[in-house]
Structures are given as structure tokens and as C-alpha cells.
Chains A and B, each alone.
Chain A
């Protein structure tokens, strides 16, 4: 069965520090992988996605993620965090053969201190 694990429930970083949010997935086929961000009281916004090709993908707001098949991971990174990045981040996986379902992780809440 498909599943997504985000091991870190809550992360706190200082503004300007680097960030890495972890995501591990379990999936039998080639996965389609996504990172979404949810600001307080808002819906979800797509940060980036991976389908195939280059395993390092660039997204909006200066985020990037690297797909590592051997580790079943799709970690999200940002070299220098801004206070406005404080939000909840969700990793999601979709099937390559059944494109109707997106399974989400439980989310990681990011706090940024000045």
C-alpha cells in the first residue's frame, strides 16, 4: 500500500539558516512525488513535483527537493529560510498508473525565529 512518512512533526529554525524537511515514501511502482505548503488558515499550494528525469527538482520560493530511489526519500531543502516560510509542509505521493489518488504525509510544521 502507498504511504508517506514525514518523521518530523515540528521543526524550528532561525531565519537565514538552511532547512531540510524529510519525506519517505512506500510505493511499489514509480512514484509521482509532491511537496505542498499550507499557510495558516489557507489551502494547499504546490511547491514542486517530481515525475521523472533529473532527480533534483526546483520549485517556487527557492525550494528544491531531491528524489533518492535507493532511500525512498524526497527531502525538501532551502538554503536560507525566511520568516515568511513558516507554515506546514506536506509531502504527497501519487501512482504512476493510477493517477486518481494523492496520499499525503502527516505534515511538518515549520517555525522560523528571527
Chain B
């Protein structure tokens, strides 16, 4: 089925550990996004990529890095995880103004 696939679905990290969240879409979309969702905060944009090879900061980029290696994949990296990064992370891709979301990654940093 076409769509946006995120891995892993769940992850627990210790403070200071690093990890990469993977996202892939098979809809040939140019734009891809990473959001985090926190209670009472809605979805906040971390980084986005308008096209292959380009990335831009969103509202809350601190503590994250991204990589858009090809059109399909857009990864999010936490170099040194902090408890404040405990959240649910969503990847999305966009066709014109319709965004398609992955199922989310629930990350807990202890």
C-alpha cells in the first residue's frame, strides 16, 4: 500500500544516547516533514525538506538533525537525547496541499 512508513514505532533511550528515526514515502512527493506531538501543544514542525537535497528548520529544530538522502527517505537524528525530547514523532509527505502522515514513533527518553 502506498503511504508513509516510519520506523521504529516505539523506542526508549537513555539520556545522551543517539538514534535515527527513519521515514520513507513511495508517492514520489517532493516535500517531506518531521513533526513532534506533545499534549496541549498540537503538532510542531521540527524540520522539513522541500525537495531532495534541501532541508529547512521548522519551529522546534534544536537538538535534531535531518537528512534527505533521496526523494523517498527523510531521516531525523537525535545526537544526544534529552528527556525533553520524549514525544510522539510524525513524518509526513505532501502532494500540493494534502499531507500524508506516518503512524508515528513514540519515543521515551529516560
Determine if B42 and A101 form an interchain contact, defined as CB atoms under 8 angstroms apart.
no
B91-105 interface code vs A (CB 8 A; 1 in, 0 out): 010101111011110
Determine if A99 and B90 form an interchain contact, defined as CB atoms under 8 angstroms apart.
no
Determine if A32 and B97 form an interchain contact, defined as CB atoms under 8 angstroms apart.
yes
Q: How far is the CB of A92 from chain B (nearest CB, A)?
A: 8
A1-21 interface code vs B (CB 8 A; 1 in, 0 out): 000101001000000000000
A103-B45, A105-B42, A106-B41 known; A43-B104 Cβ under 8 A: yes
With A and B bound together, what is the CA distance between A9 and B41 in angstroms?
10
Determine if A43 and B45 form an interchain contact, defined as CB atoms under 8 angstroms apart.
no
Tell which of A44-52, A56-64, A66-74, A77-85 binds the partner. Answer: A44-52
Interface: A100 (CB within 8 A): yes
Interface: A104 (CB within 8 A): yes
Determine if B97 and A101 form an interchain contact, defined as CB atoms under 8 angstroms apart.
no
With A and B bound together, what is the CA distance between A99 and B56 in angstroms?
13
Q: How far is the CB of A113 from chain B (nearest CB, A)?
A: 22
Determine if A94 and B97 form an interchain contact, defined as CB atoms under 8 angstroms apart.
yes
Q: How far is the CB of B108 from chain A (nearest CB, A)?
A: 15
Closest to A50 in B: B97
Interface: A25 (CB within 8 A): no
Interface: B61 (CB within 8 A): no
With A and B bound together, what is the CA distance between A4 and B44 in angstroms?
12
Determine if A43 and B43 form an interchain contact, defined as CB atoms under 8 angstroms apart.
no
Interface: B48 (CB within 8 A): yes
- Give chain B interface residues in 10-35, CB to chain A under 8 Å: 31, 33, 35
Determine if B104 and A51 form an interchain contact, defined as CB atoms under 8 angstroms apart.
no
Interface: A90 (CB within 8 A): yes
Interface residues, chain B, CB within 8 Å of chain A? 4, 31, 33, 35, 40-45, 48, 50, 56, 58, 90, 92, 94, 96-99, 101-104
List of 10 A-B pairs having minimum Cβ-Cβ separation, nearest first: A43-B101, A106-B42, A104-B43, A44-B101, A104-B42, A43-B103, A100-B50, A32-B97, A107-B42, A105-B42
Cβ contacts A to B, 24 pairs, < 8 Å: A4-B42, A9-B40, A41-B104, A42-B103, A43-B101, A43-B102, A43-B103, A43-B104, A44-B90, A44-B92, A44-B101, A46-B99, A90-B42, A94-B97, A99-B31, A99-B96, A100-B50, A100-B94, A101-B58, A102-B33, A102-B92, A103-B45, A104-B35, A104-B43
